[in-house]
Structure 1
Amino acid sequence: MQHAAPSGDTAKADNDAKMRRYWQRNLRYMVVLLGIWFVAGYVLSIFFVNQLNAIHLGGFPLGFWFAQQGSIYIFVLLILAYFILMDRLDKEFDVHE
């Protein structure tokens, strides 16, 4: 004969599953945003610099711009995107302050 789990155990299991989903989404956000940063910071500014230098932005070759300024701007935008995504995620999972 099986006994039903006390409601406290069920609530804890539900909360654990909810927090696991929360962290999975958080990690997915981080992987995607860091992937974008890697592409902007390394792939575009190092590996494709010669191809990008054929295009000019504000009088400077685009490859130079990505290496010197673009990756920094993109990083700041990614921080903003992460803030917005996590604010929404926190509210969705009711873990906001």
Structure 2
Amino acid sequence: MADNKSASAYWAANVRIITISLVVWFVCSFGLGIILRPLLKGIHIGGADLGFWFAQNGSIYVFLVLIFVYAAKMNKLDREYGVDE
């Protein structure tokens, strides 16, 4: 990354990936697990309602997926801007 314009574009893309990841994290953990839990009461997974499942198990699975998606997207972004290892 030689110029300031390229560094700004890289940082903007990085912040966009982080923002999307945080929104997904918030919707899954707080939205589905807490706020929308009463609406998800009728749907059952493994003997528990869907809201409880997201609060206890689903959010962990989503977080793990987010880690791998973030790593893949950042590797792609690094290669695109020539800052990969």
TM-score range normalised by the length of the shorter chain? over 0.9
Counterpart of 1:84, as a letter, is A
Over the residues paired in the alignment, what is the CA RMSD in angstroms?
1.3
Q: Percent identity?
A: 43
User: What do residues 32-54 of structure 1 show as CA deviations (whole Å, max 9, x unaligned)?
Assistant: 11001000000111011011121
TM-score by length of 2: 0.94
Larger radius of gyration: 1
Give 2:21's aligned residue. 33
Q: Which has the higher contact order (CA 8 A, sep 6+)?
A: 2
2:70 is aligned with 1:95:
no
Gaps of 5+ in 2: none
Runs of 4+ in structure 1 off by over 2 angstroms are none
Gaps of 5+ in 1: 1-11
